[in-house]
Amino acid sequence: MITDELVSSVETVVRETADEEVLPRWRRLAGHEVSRKTGPHDLVTVADHRAEERLTTALTALLPGSAVVGEEAVHANPATYQVLRGDGPVWIVDPVDGTRQFVHGDPGFCTLVALAHGGEVLASWTYAPALGELAVARRGGGAYLNGEALRSGGPGPDEALEVAHSHPDFTSDAQKRALLGLRAEGVKPRPCGSAGLEYLNVARGTLDAVAFSWESAWDHAAGLLLVAEAGGGHATLTGEPFRLAGGNALPFTAARDALTVRRILSLLATAG
């Protein structure tokens, strides 16, 4: 299913979509082009809608018989998410990951696409057009940023762990409590920005781990494969792999190496 031709074709689709539907609207959004979804911090723009529509059309044409689970389509019809439990190939799409940053004129946003089959992510594309960065991962084929191989490495034994976690603006009181274990000696926690770019930071070794308390597949699918193919790992609170279709024990973590995964899980467990 995953051929060199398909990987290259998807890269072209992602680049063209973000460059033509998202980037031209960055720092140029009119007030009527931004709206709220579930709350004051949960924003959506015309760029999100246009990009997702274009990606949906192009990606399903590249792989006949495939379906799409996109953030905006699922918001409109939550039942769409159940496609992840089916037997066919599924494109998982976040047209603008980091919409708040996008709206505020910050360059820290990206377009995320992943291809999954049978609950397993086979390939992923993370494109940050304002930063000029494109990361591609292929199961068993490594992870690359602008054509250069990514290696996550691991933190030194005496170094404080830098961990990006669910942003307080997007978490409930219970989710905040679940992350309290990160307030420990030897850990430097901070709220995350774009989830996709935080995963990229883990994959390239500039961030030690992420810890998230929500499980929307479009935020995590691309990044989890990127980290894994760069040499890192991930696990949910019970030590099991993250399941795209949901039902995970939360919070979960992805980190530069297996030792850091275990250390973060032990800290998160203390908050339970």
Residue 11 sits at the vertex; the CA angle it makes with 242 and 7, to the nearest 5 degrees, is 70
Query: What pLDDT score does 74 carry?
Result: 95
Answer whether 25's CB lies under 8 Å from 33's CB: yes
**pLDDT at residue 114 is higher than 80:** yes
Q: pTM for the whole thing?
A: 0.95
CA 137 to chain centre: 13
**pLDDT at residue 38 is higher than 80:** no
Strand partners, 149: 144
Rounded to whole angstroms, the Cα distance separating 113 from 11 reads: 9
Rounded to whole angstroms, the Cα distance separating 2 from 142 reads: 13
**pLDDT at residue 186 is higher than 80:** yes
**pLDDT at residue 225 is higher than 70:** yes
Answer whether 201's CB lies under 8 Å from 108's CB: no
Three-state secondary structure readout of 30-43: CHHHEEECCCCCCE
DSSP letter at 154 equals: -
Residue bearing tokens 């377009």 = 111
**pLDDT at residue 132 is higher than 90:** yes
Backbone φ, ψ for residue 189 (5° rounding): -85, 155
Q: Round to the nearest angstrom and report the end-to-end CA distance of the chain.
A: 41
The two structure tokens encoding residue 187? 């850990």
Number of Cβ atoms within 10 Å of the Cβ of 169 = 11
Residue 41: pLDDT band (50, 70, 90) is low
What strands lie across the sheet with 233-236, from one edge to the other? 187-191, 161-165, 209-212, 252-255, 233-236
pLDDT digits (tens, 9 = 90+) for 150-161: 999 999 888 899
Query: What pLDDT score does 177 carry?
Result: 82
Query: What pLDDT score does 43 carry?
Result: 84
**Closest to 120 in 3D by CA, of 16, 264, 241:** 241
Residue 243: pLDDT band (50, 70, 90) is very high
Least confident of 21-25, 259-263, 266-270: 266-270
Query: What pLDDT score does 40 carry?
Result: 60
CA 145 to chain centre: 15
Rounded to whole angstroms, the Cα distance separating 257 from 248 reads: 21
| Mean pLDDT (whole number) for 65-70 | 97
Query: What pLDDT score does 35 carry?
Result: 85
pLDDT > 90: what percent of the chain? 86
pLDDT digits (tens, 9 = 90+) for 4-37: 999 999 999 999 999 999 999 999 999 898 888 7
pLDDT digits (tens, 9 = 90+) for 137-180: 999 999 999 999 999 999 988 889 999 999 877 777 877 788 88
Q: Kind of pairing, strands 142-145 and 133-138? A: antiparallel
DSSP letter at 214 equals: -
**Closest to 123 in 3D by CA, of 246, 18, 13, 23:** 13
Q: Kind of pairing, strands 148-149 and 142-145? A: antiparallel
**Closest to 70 in 3D by CA, of 86, 47, 85, 53:** 53
**Alpha helices (runs of H) in the chain, residue ranges in sequence order:** 4-17, 46-62, 71-76, 99-103, 173-178, 195-203, 217-229, 258-269
H or E element in which residue 217 lies: helix 217-229
